[in-house]
């Protein structure tokens, strides 16, 4: 059977995880375009370019998540969550070292409970759906 045309059941908890994975992809670009200091120096023209590149990347992946969700495609969702997970594995330490987090404990909780653990749960579920 063709996995790309097969519909995957999406339980309520996976919908919550997908929402947790997707909403920063729309909120982040909003902050980047409305707050000039979001990605760095306010006066640098490269910052404006960086804001637009950041916005394009996040919106593209965010819309891909929405399409994959409505298609109920386990392979597409798996790939998108894996890419997001891999990106967060790099973003987490980068934010830790190059930004001044408000609280170390809050920072750890946000990345661990908000990104890493939910992504691993979703990846495990989707992998089981694809291998059955």
Per-residue pLDDT tens digits for 25-75? 898 888 878 876 665 655 655 567 777 888 899 999 999 999 999 999 999
Question: How far is the C-alpha of 28 from the C-alpha of 117, rounded, in Å?
Answer: 21
pTM above 0.75, yes or no: yes
- Long-range contacts, stretch 25-31, CB < 8 angstroms, 24+ apart: 25/58, 25/59, 25/61, 25/62, 25/65, 26/58, 26/59, 26/62, 28/54, 28/58, 29/54, 29/55, 29/58, 29/59
Q: How far apart are CA 51 and CA 49, in angstroms?
A: 5
At 4 the pLDDT is 59
Contact 66, 22 (CB under 8 A): yes
**pLDDT beyond 90 at 117:** yes
Query: Rounded mean pLDDT of 72-93?
Result: 91
Q: Using pLDDT thresholds of 50, 70 and 90, give the confidence band for residue 95.
A: confident
């Amino acid at each position: 059977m063709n996995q790309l045309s097969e519909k995957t059941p999406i339980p309520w908890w996976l919908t919550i995880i997908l929402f947790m994975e997707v909403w920063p992809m729309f909120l982040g670009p909003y902050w980047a375009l409305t707050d000039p200091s979001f990605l760095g120096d306010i006066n640098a023209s490269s910052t404006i370019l960086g804001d637009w590149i950041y916005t394009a990347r996040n919106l593209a992946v965010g819309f891909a998540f929405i399409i994959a969700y409505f298609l109920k495609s386990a392979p597409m969702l798996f790939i998108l969550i894996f890419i997001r997970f891999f990106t967060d594995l790099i973003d987490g330490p980068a934010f830790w070292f190059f930004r001044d987090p408000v609280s170390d404990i809050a920072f750890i909780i946000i990345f661990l409970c908000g990104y890493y653990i939910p992504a691993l749960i979703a990846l495990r579920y989707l992998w089981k759906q694809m291998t059955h």
